[in-house]
Structure 1
Amino acid sequence: MASRDPNRPNVLLILSDDQGPWAMGCAGNDEIHTPHLDALAARGIRFSRFFCTSPVCSPARASLFTGELPSQHGVHDWLSYHHAGRTGIDFLSGRTLFTDLLADAGYRLGLSGKWHLGANDRPRKGFVHWYAHESGGGPYYGAPMYRDGTRAEEQGYLTDALAADADQFLTSESERPEPFHLSLHFTAPHKPWRGQHPCKYTELYENCTFDSCPQGPAHPWQPLAEDGSPVGGESDTRQALIGYFAATTAMDTAIGRVLDRLDALDLTGSTLVIFTSDNGFNAGHHGIWGKGNGTFPQNMYDSSVLVPCLISQPGRIPSGRHCDALLSQYDVLPTLVDHLGLDHHPDPRLPGRSFADILTGTDDGDGAERERIVVYDEYGPVRMIRTRDWKYVHRYPHGPHELYDLAHDPGEEHNLADAPLHTAVRTELATRLDAWFAEYVDPALDGARLPVTGSGQRTPVTPGTLPTAFEPPPAGSAAPTPSGTS
């Protein structure tokens, strides 16, 4: 009846879409209603400095599953075409995902929700259940979904439909002897927002002041749509905030349903539950609506690159803990290998390191290792190094570059890149940044020289050919105005 062995646990990965690190009650937001996520944090560990590998959907998801950087797996922007059907392209074909390792170890795998890594209609290796969104997102009613290869529109509210599908998968798998992995990938709280969510959730926020989402002056790099609204947002900012918060609370309710099913099946102690998001999100933070491609050039603010992360397995992972070690999505694959006891030795060319000792509370507690106090991000020609006290952002080939003293300026409001007093700090961080990426990138897939604008990627990067995989900015415009920002 699934795995009842805590040392060989089932895995439930719950992935939200565009959820800012601030959008949970347990993270200190007293305006948003997330009781089930708060309860999950209370019975596990909450990581408050957990970073995506690239602040936009598809490359972040590719890195989460492969443990590779975008400049290793070649997905540098959100995928704007070739999602499914005859022309669908699997952008991770030939690459090893952690789900492949689970399949090799005898796990039965299921997907409920958003894949957005190409060929979304075709199950990956080991998946016995595949209920996948056709593309990267869209309306919450009438969503185009593939169920085991057959396309149909989901007429109900998508968040509820995904929870119901996950519930059925868990129930059916509980009768089998093999352990399971379920990827439950919501499209929430990604836009659209206004008029998309049940009244019982929007009504919670009709009188909300949204102090957690200050609406300051627009960032000078914020692209605007034809109606003058920010590309990553909607024209009615208040209704967008109501919809974003409602989408998050609806997802929280759906997560509660799935976690209750685990409890009812007596699988909680033998199931590793991971909740995180693909990338962060600015809902007015820094004057931006969106994530990394909420500006052009793309940004690396903490609100874009930080993601919520809660991990729980009662009885094996001590409860009620908070960890502020700097960790990354590229650390997830080696951590799963260690925590699940998989017979696999991760490729030394992967940048991540296991934090399984932090999960079980057997680490030294001070995060002294290099990999735990420095993280790196990239988005095409934009790269970041982040220590506890400093952040340096380098944009190839000519900038603008950014340097922030996070100890004294946690809001990243004062760029010190050109300050003579901090030249030595900038030089040191730039040197470390260059050396680290030189060690890990595949030169044939190096995003630093590619025309990644944040407007989308259509085809895989092909070594030895001119880069034509990316959507160009509109003619006569200094900033891209993509039709979607998944």
Structure 2
Amino acid sequence: MTNQRLFLPAILAFLALSWTGSGTKENPAKTRPNLILILADDLGYGELGCYGQQTIETPHLDALASRGMRFTQFYSGSAVCAPARCALLTGLHMGHAYIRGNDEWAERGEVWNYAKGALDPNLEGQRPLPANTLTLGKVLQQAGYTTACVGKWGLGAPLSEGRPNAQGFDFFFGYNCQRQAHNLYPPFQWKNEEKVALDNAIVAPGTKLAAGADSLLEASYAAFQGKEYAPDVQLKEALDFIRRQASQGPFFLYFASPLPHVALQARDPWVAHYRQKLGPEPPYLGQQGYLPNRTPMATYAAMISMLDEQVGAIVDALKKSGIDKNTLLVFTSDNGPSYAGGVDPERFRSAGPFPAEYGRGKGFLYEGGIRVPMIAAWPGKIKAATANDTPAALWDVMPTFCSVAGVSAPPGLDGTSLRPALLGKKKIPQRPYLYWEFPEYGGQQAVRKGPWKALRLDMQKGNRTTMLFNLDEDIREQTDVAAQYPHIVRELEAIMDAEHRQAEIPRFRIKALDDVR
């Protein structure tokens, strides 16, 4: 939101005063809760046992849900990576946010050349958040929190004003660039603003099997398995941060795991486990991009179980450090499941009850593309084994964490604090609707109000036709009832008009709304 950014210094000064006024006589640095947000990458609504998954094993996340609250109507901020993360860290929906799509900042040169990007930071990363963007990290820093981002960033190239250390994070480790994260055995990671070399060769996404290689032999795929697995290295940095900060006062850890986003790459023993469990399968040869894999379904399942182990390790570190009861941990995903890179979302019913094939999962504003799991745990604060059907979205995280931290949320946010819902208050915050727009995959717009879901597609062609679905009766969004309920359509179209503000970046504009591209 432009106005929010223009007055950033004044807002931060206000937040500092608001925290000072809400402090206690005790040392607030030792009593305020720690905050951890774990964001999975392309994890579908139905890929956890606690959300109905029958094949892929997620015991740690299932246990987390049994100790906390599981949200059944939680939504991402968008249908792909970067805009979802922008909504998360700014508290703004896509009608107001600065980053509204995946923008590779291509005017810099050969940004899609993986090898050149690995060597030249000027070709890495995505279009940046502006320097004066008010992020969750900045607000919590101002409130006295030590902040860290570990994993995948995607909101500003290494040398830009959008880099993590310039956007409110005291510590960063991981992939700055989403494209570099398309190989989980990368040649390097960023640690703050320095490159840390990993013992892996440069293997560009899109590489195929060697000429003449036998696609049925595991040895033919050796080039796609390196020595240092980025998710392992990232987890170590996250655990080290928790241990360092355990006795130092409140911290905020944003752990943005690259799992289970393709390329399909995972380690034993999980790959071997699922090969045995799932049985023989044909190889993936790279027809849909990324990297070939001998056993794609076994590897994809392994990636989710490895993500689950990461969560278990973080919970264990909190317990061993004696701070689990003073830590709010939230787990969610940035969008629905992928259809690319050898993933078959229907094989595991990855989106649960929702269709997830191309056109319905990642990249689209149907439920399969934006409804995601969300689990919150806080021992002694959040009642165990509870479910909450409050409709909520990623842009609610910022006001929620501000409320829990005891600092006033910045003015102008689209999000609502979920703290009352988490703490089991009788009065749960209600909002009239949720709104999305997405300039990519043809251009889309959606509104959810009560049981009603309005959806527009192909808006870059000028289309403004609105489909209407009753999610209470048609959760799979199969029957358009717009003709039967024209008054509902008009009401939701008015919301679409009211919530859309023309994007500052021209490529994020939607022809049917802005008549410009």
Q: Which range, TM-score by smaller chain?
A: 0.7 to 0.9
Cα distance, 1:274 vs structure 2: 1.1
Is the deviation greater in 36-45 or in 82-91?
Answer: 82-91
Cα gap change, 1:133/1:147 in structure 2, threshold over 3 Å: closer, same or farther? Answer: same
Cα distance, 1:197 vs structure 2: 0.8
1:366-414: per-residue Cα shift (whole Å, max 9, x none)?
A: x6x334xx32221124110113422110243314543222222211223
Letter in 1 for 2:92: E
Q: Which residue of 2 aligns with 1:477?
A: none
Within 2, Cα distance between the matches of 1:199 and 1:400?
A: 49
Within 2, Cα distance between the matches of 1:411 and 1:117?
A: 32
State the secondary structure of the residue aligned to 1:113.
strand
Q: Which residue of 1 aligns with 2:208?
A: none
Within 2, Cα distance between the matches of 1:161 and 1:234?
A: 21
Letter in 1 for 2:174: A
State the secondary structure of the residue aligned to 1:141.
coil
Query: What is the 5 A alignment of 1:344-359?
Result: 344-348=408-412, 350-359=413-422
1:119-163: per-residue Cα shift (whole Å, max 9, x none)?
A: 247413553321120311222213531112221343412222111
1:29 aligns with 2:89: no
User: Considering only aligned residues, what root-mean-square deviation do their CA atoms show, in Å?
Assistant: 3.2
Q: Which residue of 1 aligns with 2:490?
A: 427
Q: Which residue of 2 aligns with 1:405?
A: 470
Letter in 1 for 2:357: I
Within 2, Cα distance between the matches of 1:14 and 1:28?
A: 20
Within 2, Cα distance between the matches of 1:318 and 1:40?
A: 12
1:60 aligns with 2:96: no
Within 1, Cα distance between the matches of 2:409 and 2:128?
A: 25
Q: Which residue of 2 aligns with 1:85?
A: 121
1:361 aligns with 2:424: yes
1:192 aligns with 2:192: no
Letter in 2 for 1:346: P
State the secondary structure of the residue aligned to 1:197.
coil
Q: State the TM-score, normalizing by the size of structure 1.
A: 0.78
Structure 2 gaps of 5+ residues are 1-26, 112-119, 200-227, 280-284, 339-344, 350-354
8 Å contact 1:129–1:148 — kept in the other structure?
yes
State the secondary structure of the residue aligned to 1:72.
coil
Within 1, Cα distance between the matches of 2:286 and 2:44?
A: 24
Cα gap change, 1:4/1:306 in structure 2, threshold over 3 Å: closer, same or farther? Answer: same
1:36-70: per-residue Cα shift (whole Å, max 9, x none)?
A: 11111111111111111211100110110001123
Cα distance, 1:318 vs structure 2: 1.7
Cα gap change, 1:208/1:407 in structure 2, threshold over 3 Å: closer, same or farther? Answer: farther
Q: Which residue of 1 aligns with 2:195?
A: 151
Cα gap change, 1:267/1:290 in structure 2, threshold over 3 Å: closer, same or farther? Answer: farther
1:413-441: per-residue Cα shift (whole Å, max 9, x none)?
A: 23334xx3233332332233323x15xx3
Q: Which residue of 1 aligns with 2:400?
A: 335
1:252 aligns with 2:308: yes
Q: Which residue of 1 aligns with 2:214?
A: none
Cα gap change, 1:189/1:290 in structure 2, threshold over 3 Å: closer, same or farther? Answer: farther
8 Å contact 2:58–2:304 — kept in the other structure?
yes
Is the deviation greater in 423-432 or in 49-58?
Answer: 423-432
Within 1, Cα distance between the matches of 2:259 and 2:496?
A: 33
Q: Percent identity of the aligned residues?
A: 27
Letter in 2 for 1:383: Q
Between Structure 1 and Structure 2, which shows a larger proportion of strand residues? 1
Cα distance, 1:290 vs structure 2: 8.2
Equivalent residue pairs, number: 419
8 Å contact 1:45–1:312 — kept in the other structure?
yes
Q: Which has the larger radius of gyration?
A: 2
Within 2, Cα distance between the matches of 1:91 and 1:127?
A: 14
Letter in 2 for 1:94: N
Cα gap change, 1:2/1:124 in structure 2, threshold over 3 Å: closer, same or farther? Answer: farther
Q: State the TM-score, normalizing by the size of structure 2.
A: 0.73
Cα gap change, 1:266/1:352 in structure 2, threshold over 3 Å: closer, same or farther? Answer: same
8 Å contact 2:361–2:368 — kept in the other structure?
no
State the secondary structure of the residue aligned to 1:40.
helix
